Each structure stands twice: as structure tokens, then as C-alpha cells.
Structure 1
């Protein structure tokens, strides 16, 4: 039997490592072996946990309020784990955006979903929320990402009128 193909998200992690190894003058992985292993762990954690729950998030967006809460509940244990891992860190790999943040683009979508749904609040996940804000406020991110308003408009258009009242 042939091997199962890599998920497109896991392929992205491999590509990010290739970029890091090829363009050494602008590293995205930490140079310290422990910090590098930690960055790889968090990138893989985000890749496996948050992309796996993305269907539940999409379901939450188009469901009624009670069903939204049930669907989004699936994200909370993973956010709590991420919350504990981000304590006392500006970014996972150091003082600037790096490997984990590049791999964590799904978090951006979760926070936009939060704005539409109002379920992933700053009160419940203050550290993840602060990390996201640093991520979203970063000059490189701002240069490359569409404005938040376009993300929200995209969600509303994609998932219909059920989000329009949020």
C-alpha cells in the first residue's frame, strides 16, 4: 500500500522549514535547539488540532445560538492548551513573528469567527487574545493580510444571513 499523502497544512510546515533552511539570513525558526523544538511542537499542535476542528467552527457560524455554542465548545480545550503554552511569551519563537505564527493562520480565522459569533472571548482566553493582537498588529502581517473588515465581510457572505445580525 502507498503512504497517505501529507495534508496541505503539514506540507505548509515542511515548506516553512525549507524556507528557514534556505534563507538563513532571515530565520523563522529559533536557533536555540530547545526553542526550535518548542516552535515545531506548537506549529504541529496548531496544525493538528485547529485545522481538525475547522468544520465545527464553520458549523457554528451557520447554526442557531445553542448549536453554535456546542460546536465551538470543541475549540476550547485546544485554546486552553495554547493559552498555557503562550504564558510569558511575546511570540512563540521570540520577539517577532516566526514559524509558529506563520503556521497559525487558522488562529486568525478563529478570531474573525469570534468577532462574527462572539464566543471566543478575551475574558476566557486573555493570553491567546493578546498573542493574536500582537500577531494582527505586526507590520509584516498587516502588509500581507487583508483588512479585518474584509475577513468579516467574507464570513458573512460565505455563511449567509445567519451571521448578519452579529
Structure 2
């Protein structure tokens, strides 16, 4: 009975940036969970039951209760399983700072990147300029984000948190994105700190095993581009 009460189930989709955030959070915290792959064209009755408002993944079901929206779920995981590593700092100001930058990735960087991938011609040129502005903001503020955590050195020690999860799921597929659009997204010379951060994360064992296969990501992005499909934040 106890096992059933504490059961954790994640309804997700293999290529979903938002689902991967939750998978990474659970993996980092060492939380055992059952994974249910959803077909977003033919959504399961369970998904519609657990997320009747948005009808999207990810949905985390814990103790028979559902939690929706990726950012909300990641915080729920950190608050429910209080073991190390903590995904957010205990200090209220530092937590607020992490939330601010996580939201910047979620609301500003990711939509801009998705628009860039599916756009063409003049529209794509405009998207490139907008995306480069967002990257410059990250580049200029990355030291401030991790001023108390010794930057990349903490990643090498396996001490990763919410911002790392968000950064990886937004920018971690940059090589597949570059292949689809035909030019560099993260330039090592123009954005050295962001480039180093993302690639340090990609070398983390827990992250490596959860990154979707390159070729499958390329195929999906080409499909989105050819059909001009925009993905809304979740």
C-alpha cells in the first residue's frame, strides 16, 4: 500500500523540452518514477483526466494527485524531496534570482529560439537578431547568476540546479537546431560563457542519458519547420 501511495508517474513526450525538465529534476533528486510516453495527436484518457485545463505534457502524478506546468513541477519536486542536491537555494533572495532567470529562459529565450527554427527569409533574419540579443543578456549576466556557486566548477562536481535544467532543455539541442537552420546558434567566440555552460552540462552523465537522439531531434525540427508549427510554453 505504501508503494502505491508514494508512486510517482510522469506523463511526457520524448522530444518535449518541458517534459525533459521534469525528467532531469527527478533524475537529479534520485526519485524513482514510472514514465508514460504520450502521443500528443492521440492523447490518452489519463492525460486528459490529469490535465483537463491545458491537456498537455508534462503531468506529474504523485500520491494520486496531478501537478501540471513544467516550472511548477520542478519546484514541487524540490520542495517534496528535500534531499541534496537542492534545485533552488534556501535563501529567499537567491531563490527569487533563480526564478527570474528561469523565467527569462522559459518566456523569452525559448519562444525566440523556436521562432528562429521554423522561420524563413526576412522573418528568420529578424528572429536571429532577437535571439542574439537574448543570448547577449545571458552572456553578460551569467556570472551574476552563479556568483555564489563558483560557476562552471560546480557543474564539474555534479552540483546542478534548476537553472542548469532550464538551460540544458532550452539550448542543449543547439547542434540539431544549427543543422536545421544552417548557421551557428551559439557561437563559441561571441558567447563563450554560454557555450561553455551548455557543453559542460551536456557532459554530465545524468544529462547525457536523457538527451534525445540528435537525428530524431533534427527530423522533428524539420517537421515543425516545414509545417510552420509553433510550440507554446508549458
Q: TM-score range by the shorter chain?
A: 0.7 to 0.9
In the other structure, the counterpart of 1:38 is: 97
Q: Equivalent residue of 1:144, what SS? A: coil
Q: Equivalent residue of 1:146, what SS? A: coil
Q: Of residues 65, 86, 90 in structure 1, which corresponds to 2:152?
A: 90
Give the Cα–Cα distance (whole angstroms) in 2 for the partners of residues 92 and 32 of structure 1: 18
Q: Equivalent residue of 1:86, what SS? A: helix
Structure 1 residues 92, 152: CA separation in 2 closer, same or farther (over 3 Å shift)? farther
Q: Of residues 49, 52, 72 in structure 1, which corresponds to 2:128?
A: 72
Instruction: Kindly report which structure 2 residues correspond to 1:57-136, keeping only aligned pairs within 5 A, or say none.
Output: 57-60=116-119, 63-64=120-121, 68-87=124-143, 89-90=151-152, 96-104=159-167, 105-116=169-180, 117-120=182-185, 121-136=187-202
Compute the displacement of 1:56 (Å). Answer: 2.1
TM-score by length of 2: 0.54
Give yes or no for contact 1:86–1:92 (8 Å, CA) kept in 2.
no
In the other structure, the counterpart of 1:163 is: none
Structure 1 residues 35, 114: CA separation in 2 closer, same or farther (over 3 Å shift)? farther
Task: Please state if 1:52 is matched with 2:115.
Answer: no
Q: Extract unaligned runs of 5+ from structure 1.
A: 161-166
Q: Extract unaligned runs of 5+ from structure 2.
A: 1-52, 59-67, 144-149, 227-234
Instruction: Kindly report which structure 2 residues correspond to 1:12-31, keeping only aligned pairs within 5 A, or say none.
Output: 12-26=70-84, 27-31=86-90
Give the Cα–Cα distance (whole angstroms) in 2 for the partners of residues 49 and 28 of structure 1: 21
Give the Cα–Cα distance (whole angstroms) in 1 for the partners of residues 113 and 57 of structure 2: 14
Cα RMSD of the aligned pairs, angstroms, is 3.2
Name whichever structure is richer in helix by fraction: 1
Name whichever structure is richer in strand by fraction: 2
Structure 1 residues 142, 93: CA separation in 2 closer, same or farther (over 3 Å shift)? closer
Q: Equivalent residue of 1:39, what SS? A: helix
Give the Cα–Cα distance (whole angstroms) in 2 for the partners of residues 130 and 157 of structure 1: 29
Instruction: Kindly report which structure 2 residues correspond to 1:139-154, keeping only aligned pairs within 5 A, or say none.
Output: 139-154=205-220
Compute the displacement of 1:135 (Å). Answer: 1.5
Per-residue displacement from partner, 1:62-109 (whole Å, max 9, x unpaired)?
x24x65333221111111111122136228999622111223312224
Per-residue displacement from partner, 1:103-125 (whole Å, max 9, x unpaired)?
33122244531344223222221
Aligned residue pair count: 153
Compute the displacement of 1:31 (Å). Answer: 2.9
